[in-house]
Structure 1
């Protein structure tokens, strides 16, 4: 990880935004777990079924994955084939990350944005509701797709800045430490 004293203000700000959202999402996981526990208790012990509560778990689950994607990227937590990457120098890893951001992350994020924009827009146009009488804000759930893209693109900017600084020798890093599966 780079030393934060060497990082430009914009990079620190972008990382701060991503970290803040990641921390909020961590709390949402706990809330989601408690709501799911309450649903089970209500359903099997009290015989009460709540569609709104069941849908709220689905909404929270979607929020965790979509809003947590940028945080996972920042923490280098997405799946990668580490056979070569971990043996590379800091500059080699920076090149791989830079090219991955430019050739994969940004194009895929833009594809998701362009593919989902009309879908989200039409949902907002009719203020789409749950067909089962649950949470009335389906359009908010669908909006998470575009929010995810925005957060990923912000993190892509941070990645590009960081990797460029590493390649120019203006930012030092420590080798990545990941748990090994095998």
Structure 2
């Protein structure tokens, strides 16, 4: 029993590590985004030169930052919840709420988004969709595929949080899971 428990905890921490790297990628995208905005604004207001591709790249970097930050926020417990109620719960009840939230809301929502995004991304790939604006970016399916990637990472992180909550719940009740 102990060996199976350790396997689930190791898998959970491997998922955490993956989402740590996803979060770092999102953080790097934020630095690139800030530099790109400074450059783009300087070019527009000082030199009166603009670029549709640069503006679209700003949107794409923001998308990457936001989407990769979803699972990272869940990993670090920085997501939205009603803390005014949650802080008053016992630790045992908090773990039960965490498990139910992941299993009944986060994972099903993530699966729905992945399911409905699949055709959206596939159609974009088949059509080799690009920007409708002149001078815009090509390969719009690349950024659209980040929706699927982000929600797969979110599902994995929700599973990781569920495993850890079960483990903590077992320890609160005086034994292993």
Map 1:75-154 onto structure 2 (within 5 A).
75-132=76-133, 133-154=135-156
Equivalent position SS for 2:18: helix
Q: Distance in 2 between matches of 1:127 and 1:149?
A: 23
Deviation of residue 24 (structure 1)? 2.0
Q: Distance in 2 between matches of 1:10 and 1:21?
A: 17
Contact 2:118–2:148 (8 Å) recurs in 1: yes
Equivalent position SS for 1:79: coil
Deviation of residue 163 (structure 1)? 0.8
Contact 1:90–1:166 (8 Å) recurs in 2: no
Q: Distance in 1 between matches of 2:147 and 2:12?
A: 24
Equivalent position SS for 1:156: helix
Deviation of residue 170 (structure 1)? 7.4
Q: Distance in 2 between matches of 1:170 and 1:35?
A: 49
Contact 2:130–2:139 (8 Å) recurs in 1: yes
Q: Distance in 2 between matches of 1:43 and 1:96?
A: 50
CA-to-aligned-CA distance 1:17-52 (integer Å, 9 cap, x gap) = 111111221121111011011000000101111111
Q: Distance in 1 between matches of 2:87 and 2:159?
A: 23
Equivalence for 1:47: 48
Decide which structure has greater helix share: 2
Deviation of residue 8 (structure 1)? 2.5
Equivalence for 1:161: 163
TM-score normalised per structure 1? 0.86
Contact 1:113–1:146 (8 Å) recurs in 2: yes
Number of residues of Structure 1 aligned to a counterpart in Structure 2: 167
Q: Unaligned 5+ residue runs, structure 1?
A: 1-6, 172-182
TM-score normalised per structure 2? 0.89
